[in-house]
Homo-oligomer: A and B are copies of this chain.
Amino acid sequence: MPEPGGVRADSVDELSGGVLAGERAALAQAITLVESSAEGHRQQASALLHRLRPHGGNAIRVGITGVPGAGKSTLVEALGMHLVGQGKRVAVLAIDPSSSRSGGSILGDKTRMSSLARSPQAFIRPSPSAGTPGGVASRTRECMLLCEAAGHDVIFLETVGSGQGEIAARSMVDFFLLLLVTGTGDGLQGMKKGVMELADAIAVNKADGANQAAARAARADMEGALRLLSSSESGWRQRVVTCSALEGVGIAELWSIILEFRRGAQASGAWHTTRQEQRLAWLHALLEEGIRDAFYTNSEVQEALPQYERAVLSGEVNVSDAAGELLNFTRYPEPSPGGRE
C-alpha cells in the first residue's frame, strides 16, 4: 500500500473507481488519503469524498464500546462472522481519541480478529493515529463513508472507552452497543458514568462457564437501573442481554435486536432524521472546534492566558473581567463596508 505521499494528482479518478469496485487496496489507500493531514492530500480527499458521497449511507453503522478486556474484538469477530455467513460485507473501524496507537495495533486488531481478517468479505482498519479528538472523529466519519461506497453492508465502529470517545462515536452511528463484563466482586466493571445512557443495548459478555450466574444477575441489575431512567424520546426501549462472544452464544439474538431497532426507526422516519441531525451536529462540532483552536492558539491569548489564570486563582481579577479582557485579543475584523452586496 503506497504512503499518502504516493497519491498522485490524477489518482482521484482511479481511487474512486477502485473503491466503488470494492477493491480492498483502493479502500485502504483512500482511507490513508482521507486520514492524511498534508494540505495537498486534504484537497484530494475532499474531491474523493465529494465524488463518493452519493454512494454512501447504505450500511448499518454500529458503535461498540467497553473497557479493555470486555471482549470487544471477540464480539466484533463473532458478529462479523455471523454476518459474513449470511453473505454480508463487513467493515471494522476503531476510534481511540485518547491515545496515539502505533502501527503495532494494526497487527493487534487483525490478530484478535483472525477469522474475520481472513475473510474476503471483511475489511478491518485500526484507528488512525490520534490528532485532535475532533479531527479523528471527523475522519472516522469520512472513513465510514468510504467503506459504504465500497459496498460494505455493516460497519462496526469500535471505541476504547474514554468518555469523550463514546460521545463522539455515538454521534456517528445508528446503533450503539455497550459491552460489559461482570467483575470478580459484585457489580459490573467498567461502567463509565453517562455511557450507560448512550447505549441502545447493553450486552453482558463472557456469560460462559462458571460466570453464567453472575452475568445473569448483572443483567437483572442493569435492567433495574435502566427502569429508573426516563425512556428515550424515540420510543426505543434499551435492551440488556447476556452473551458469550467466545462461545458464540447470544450473537444471533444481539444481531436481531439491531435489526429490530432499524425496522422501527425506518418505519418511524427516525433513521433518516437522526442521520440528518448527526450531519448538522457534526458541522457545528467542527465549527466550535475550529473557533476554539483559533482562539487558544492565538499568540496574544497564549501569552496572556497563564497570567490571567493565576490572577483569577489568586482573586486579583474577577473571572468575568478576565474573560472580557482575553476575548478582546481576538475581535474579528469588521467586514469592509460595501464589501458584500
Contact = CB atoms under 8 A, between A and B. Distances in A.
A111 interface: no
Contact of A308 (B283, B323, B326): B283
Interface string A269-298: 000000010011011001110111011001
Contacts of A188: 228
A234 B295 CA distance: 32
A84 to B, nearest CB: 30
Nearest to A57: B315
A198 to B, nearest CB: 9
A138 B312 CA distance: 14
A320 B287 contact: no
What is the total number of copies of this protein in its complex? 2
Interface string A208-247: 0000000000000110110111100000000000000000
B279 A327 contact: no
Given A228-B222, A294-B331, A327-B287, A50 B191 contact: no
Interface residues of A, number: 63
Interface string A240-258: 0000000000000000000
B330 A286 contact: no
A300 B280 CA distance: 19
A322 interface: yes
A53 interface: yes
A225 to B, nearest CB: 4
Contact of A313 (B53, B276, B308, B326): B276
B54 A319 contact: no
A138 B319 contact: yes
A321 interface: yes
A320 B230 contact: no
In the A-B complex, the 7 residue pairs with the closest CB atoms: A286-B323, A225-B225, A290-B327, A193-B197, A291-B295, A330-B332, A291-B291
7 contacts: A50-B321, A142-B320, A221-B227, A282-B319, A288-B288, A294-B327, A300-B335
